[in-house]
Amino acid sequence: MRLNRLTLAQKLWLTVTVTVFITVLFTYLLSQFFYEKLYVDNVTSNLLLQAELLANDYEGGPISDSFKEKVDWYNEKNIAEIFAVSNPRELSACLPFDIDYDTLISSDEREKLLKGEPVKKEGYEERFDRNIVAIIYPLLDDERLEGILYVYLPLASIKDLMKDFTTFWMIASFLFIVVSIFLGTLWINRLIRPLKEMEAAAHSVSQGDFSQRVEVTTVDEIGQLAKAFNEMAAAIQKEDESKREFLADISHELRTPLSYVKGYVQAILDGIVKDEHEQRKYLGLISRETKRLQDLVQDLLDLTKLESNSFEMEEGPVAFAQLIEDILMKYKIRFQEKDITLAFNLDPDPIIMGDERRLEQILQNILENAYRYTPNGGKITVELTSQDDHCIVTITDNGIGISEEHLQKITERFYRVNKARSRVDGGTGLGLSIVEKLMKMHNGKMKITSKIGEGTQVQLIFPILSEV
């Protein structure tokens, strides 16, 4: 359809124009209809009133000459034509147009007259070249129809009545249409201005300029759309910056272990390292960096699934204290290697709904950080307590601690507190980001508090199953 090729402004302008024209035309026709109707009703009421007043002078019996003279006298003073006759057939001699008695008063109308009810007549009369309206009023004497009053008046042509009105109406309508279209065009341009701005901004965004914003000047639907566009552009900009930062971080994280692996392998291949003991040492370093690459790739896969809501969980009731104790046993030997004291106090009652493998991943990430940043001879404490409808796992260490500045960003991807240590014994930098998302999937919360030189405390809060 050609209408589909029009712009929104053109469609709105067309709508306003058509609406104005239809409104003017409809109002004109409606005014004509009501004007004519009111005019005819007024004439009819006036004729009926005159007939009633004259009928009041009728004293009964046959229609007398004196009564007819009164009617004739009134007829000479009045615009309408009024006749009093004993027999309707006499009207043919009085009226200036032919009349058919058989059609003048039907049997039903005669019954109405006998009941004292007037009869209204309206129709076209060729002699006058217009419609006439007439009232036939009964003159009754003891339920006997002695005669009738016939009152009629040619109706003025509606064209005559509306001539002056139509001229005025056409001038006023023309001015109304011009002003309406002018103001409508201004209003339409004002309405679509934000849409044009959004169109231009959207084009810029599609070209990669995510800094584009549109001005929000109203609170209507267009204003809300502009606000939504700005929010969308801000979200896309943030996501783009996050993606760029993420890719840069991945490149940076992969570069270090790959550089180590490449250097160690090249040293062995070039024969720089000939001693078997040194070769095994280099192979051990290659294995360590390969393990780091493997952990990084696995964490990236997990984080990607978590952020795309495609991470699958196999939930079921979990005896939380037993799960925590099993995980701590795996760390017992590692803690002994650094002479770290492990203390735990676990409430055996809490039962939670969760995925055991993912809960183990959460706890291992937190314990791994506590182990990594707690010095030799330090202490790590693990507690499980119950409070009302939730339980709290508290993991406390007396390690190096984290400043308030870093605590605000510690769950961001690839964020590390100590950049220097991260290259040697740090993790992938994704652990806490994964933990935070896994906690949300378990309807839980994570709270981290820390002080430099005193240590760090992590609280993991989970809802408890009310019934198992």
Please, where are the H alpha helices in 207-272? Answer: 221-269
Helix/strand/coil for 400? coil
Q: Provide the pLDDT for residue 350.
A: 92
* Co-location of 427 and 451 in the same domain: yes
Specify the CATH number for the domain of residue 234. Answer: 1.10.287.130
Q: Is residue 201 in a domain?
A: no
Q: Provide the pLDDT for residue 380.
A: 92
Q: Provide the pLDDT for residue 324.
A: 92
Q: Pick from 327, 385, 383, 320: which is nearest to 360 by CA?
A: 327
The single residue listed with the structure tokens 């036939």 is 136
Percentage, residues of the chain above pLDDT 90: 12
Torsion of CA 365, 369, 372, 377, to 10 degrees: -110
* Co-location of 253 and 317 in the same domain: no
Q: Is residue 202 in a domain?
A: no
* Co-location of 322 and 289 in the same domain: no
Q: Is residue 200 in a domain?
A: no
Summarised one tens digit per residue, pLDDT across range 409-438 is 777 766 655 554 444 455 566 778 778 888
Q: Which two tokens stand for residue 2?
A: 């050609």
Q: Provide the pLDDT for residue 91.
A: 67
Specify the CATH number for the domain of residue 123. Answer: 3.30.450.20
Q: Provide the pLDDT for residue 174.
A: 79
Of 160, 184, 211, the position where a domain reaches its end is 160
Backbone angles phi, psi at 151, to 5 degrees: -115, 125
Average pLDDT over residues 305-316: 73
Contact 72, 60 (CB under 8 A): no
Q: Provide the pLDDT for residue 459.
A: 93
Summarised one tens digit per residue, pLDDT across range 390-415 is 999 999 999 888 888 777 777 776 66
* Co-location of 96 and 225 in the same domain: no
CB-based contacts of 399, cutoff 8 Å, min separation 6? 370, 373, 374, 375, 378, 455, 456
* Co-location of 259 and 149 in the same domain: no
Handedness of CA 315, 320, 322, 328 (dihedral sign): positive
Of 111, 144, 160, the position where a domain reaches its end is 160
Q: Provide the pLDDT for residue 164.
A: 64
Contact 363, 327 (CB under 8 A): yes
* Co-location of 370 and 457 in the same domain: yes
d(CA 187, CA 184): 5
* C-alpha 333 chain-centroid distance: 59
For the ranges 94-108, 223-237, 295-309, the lowest mean pLDDT is seen at: 94-108
Q: Provide the pLDDT for residue 127.
A: 58
Summarised one tens digit per residue, pLDDT across range 340-364 is 999 999 999 999 998 888 898 889 8
* Co-location of 17 and 140 in the same domain: yes
Mean pLDDT taken over the chain:
78
* Co-location of 317 and 301 in the same domain: no
pLDDT grade for 170, boundaries at 50, 70 and 90: confident
Contact 376, 417 (CB under 8 A): no
Contact 351, 318 (CB under 8 A): yes
Please, where are the H alpha helices in 56-157? Answer: 65-77, 91-94, 101-104, 107-114
Q: Could you tell me the CA-to-CA distances from 219 to 177, 210, 227 in Å, in that order?
A: 30, 24, 9
Of 306, 335, 361, the position where a domain reaches its end is 306
* Co-location of 148 and 18 in the same domain: yes
Q: Provide the pLDDT for residue 322.
A: 93
Backbone angles phi, psi at 25, to 5 degrees: -65, -45
Q: Provide the pLDDT for residue 421.
A: 44
Give the count of domains, the chain. Answer: 3
Q: Provide the pLDDT for residue 463.
A: 93
Q: Provide the pLDDT for residue 422.
A: 44
* Co-location of 365 and 276 in the same domain: no
Domain range for 253: 221-306
Contact 318, 354 (CB under 8 A): yes
d(CA 139, CA 85): 10
d(CA 191, CA 218): 10
8-17, 118-127, 134-143, 220-229 — most confident range: 134-143
Quick check: 1 pLDDT over 50? no
Q: Is residue 208 in a domain?
A: no
Half-sphere exposure of 128 (CA within 13 A, CB side): 17
* Co-location of 318 and 447 in the same domain: yes
Q: Provide the pLDDT for residue 111.
A: 82
